[in-house]
Amino acid sequence: MDWAVRLVVMITADLQFDHGRVRLDFDDAHLIRGIGVHALSLSYRSSADWLPMADGTFTQAAMLTGSVRAGATVAWLGAIAPTALALRERGGTGSVLVTLSEEQIDALGRESARDVELRFTLQLSLVSPPPGVHPVAETELGYRITADRWSAMLDQLGTALAIYLRVPAPLGARATSDLGEAPSLTRAVSRLREAHDRARDQQWAEAVSTCRSALEELRMLVDLPAESRTRETKPQNRAEDVRWAALFYAVKGLADAASHNDAITSEFRWSRASADAVVASTGALLAHYSDPTVAVARPRGGSPGASTSTAGEAAG
């Protein structure tokens, strides 16, 4: 019989007060599913070495607060949810919660082979401390989640986790009415934002139709191989730029259906899943053709890369 064994490494935080020390032993971490945002939970055991006191006091109320940063750059993630503790000599248990957006979770696991490194700043405040005792102690704590463990935690979230797509967008006007007549990358990204907003408002067909407008704008900005060339060339013989063009025309052809009402397209039934798929595909194509390292085609308008905008999402 095979046994799966997971080693839990205990990480200890010591918070020193004038009259004694509080010890927090952190062990397991897991993700709690939410709607749009989730929570990272770290379990701990607590103890206070000055309890019980000579006057018969066995517990001490306290409040734990702080913040968490991530990675070698200690990038800000968020604040710890204030946590009430009832300190005892030993045996206290609880958990620290940090709210994480889906984009933050995606960024933490972007390099699949790397562990997730977190750094906590903890502040423990005693409620009604003994006379003469300063009520606040602080410390920092490093916590590492192995790559395998993080992958398992993401699997537990399942379909509650979305994938965020970042599309380079030029600085400037966001409203398409402010952009004039010339084709521009700004207009294409603005159309993508509109499509995303319509999908959020459950306007599935309108979202897909707006993606068509974004793709039409993109088509005027880049030099794509002719659609006839993608059809006439066998798939195995297509060069890189032709394969990307084939993907573009396929997504564009799908989006066209939302704007037509002929005998075939009138039977189309758009849903959240299909709208999300078209929005995500459109965003991916905008990101691809805006990438300055892409040699198959280069944008002829706008100024890609001047800023970065989260413009699309696909629910996983």
33-63 tens-digit pLDDT: 888 789 999 999 999 999 988 888 889 999 9
pTM: 0.61
Please give the structure tokens belonging to residue 143: 């916590």
Q: In the chain, which ranges are E strands?
A: 11-17, 20-32, 37-48, 60-70, 75-79, 83-87, 92-101, 116-126, 136-145, 162-169, 307-315
Round the CA-based radius of gyration of the chain to a whole number and report it: 27
Is 60 exceeded by the pLDDT of residue 176?
no
The CATH number that domain 11-159 falls under is 2.60.40.10
If pLDDT is split at 50, 70 and 90, which confidence band does 162 have? low
13 or 293, which is more confident: 13
If pLDDT is split at 50, 70 and 90, which confidence band does 160 have? low
Is 60 exceeded by the pLDDT of residue 315?
no
**Lowest mean per-residue pLDDT among 170-179, 233-242, 265-274:** 170-179
Is 80 exceeded by the pLDDT of residue 245?
yes
| Contact between residue 129 and residue 135 where contact means Cβ atoms under 8 Å apart | yes
What is the average pLDDT across 160-186? 60
Q: What does the alpha-carbon distance between residue 248 and residue 202 come to, in Å, rounded to a whole number?
A: 25
Residue range(s) in the chain whose domain bears CATH number 2.60.40.10 = 11-159
Cα distances (angstroms) measured from residue 117 to each of 78, 84, 97, 195: 14, 26, 16, 36
**Lowest mean per-residue pLDDT among 12-21, 54-63, 92-101, 254-263:** 254-263
Contacts 24+ apart (CB under 8 A), 257-266: 257/208, 258/205, 258/206, 258/208, 258/209, 258/212, 259/209, 259/212
pLDDT for 67:
96
What is the average pLDDT across 191-215? 92
Is 80 exceeded by the pLDDT of residue 257?
yes
Q: Are strands 307-315 and 162-169 parallel, antiparallel or unpaired?
A: antiparallel
Helices (H), 122-221: 147-157, 185-200, 204-219
Cβ-count burial of 16 within 10 angstroms (0-12 exposed, 13-18 middle, 19+ buried)?
A: exposed
Is 80 exceeded by the pLDDT of residue 280?
yes
The residue whose two tokens read 């919660």 is 97
User: What is the percent of the chain where pLDDT is above 70?
Assistant: 81
- Peptide bond just before 52 cis, omega within 30 deg: yes
Q: What does the alpha-carbon distance between residue 108 and residue 117 come to, in Å, rounded to a whole number?
A: 9
pLDDT for 161:
56
Cα distances (angstroms) measured from residue 16 to each of 128, 134, 177: 17, 10, 60
Tell me the one-letter amino acid at 49: D
pLDDT for 316:
35
| Contact between residue 133 and residue 269 where contact means Cβ atoms under 8 Å apart | no
**Main-chain dihedrals φ then ψ at residue 225, nearest 5 degrees:** -60, 150
Is 50 exceeded by the pLDDT of residue 312?
no
What is the average pLDDT across 172-196? 71
Please give the structure tokens belonging to residue 285: 């194509």
Buried b (16+ CB within 10 A) or exposed e, 299-313: bebbbbeeeebebbb
Query: What pLDDT, in 10s, does the model give residues 146-156?
Result: 888 888 888 88
The pLDDT mean for the chain works out to: 82
pLDDT for 135:
96
